[in-house]
Amino acid sequence: MEEKKSINIELNPEVAKGSYSNLAVITHSPNEFIADFIEMLPGLPKAQVVSRVIMTPANAKRLCKALQDNIAKYENTFGEIELVGEQPIIPVGLSTNTKS
């Protein structure tokens, strides 16, 4: 019989606050997937990346499956999530400028 392993996951208060994002841009190379989470506010001329997550292709696929599973569970409980006014896949004018 296989023994279950557990991991102790630490969540510090600053990370626990989270970051609001209403757009994500995902890019990839042969070795990694990069997900930039972006906050676009009405009336402001530019959007800002609030978080970047870099992962291996295998972990990106695991994340995709976990999201699909959780969306299905959510929709079974609360109803279908309707996509209204879908965002473009890649926003125009994405800049790598790190200045605020």
pLDDT digits (tens, 9 = 90+) for 22-57: 999 999 999 999 999 999 988 888 999 999 999 999
For the chain, the maximum distance between any two Cα atoms, rounded to a whole number of angstroms, is: 59
Residue 97 pLDDT > 70: no
- Has residue 100 got a pLDDT over 90? no
Name residue 26's amino acid: I
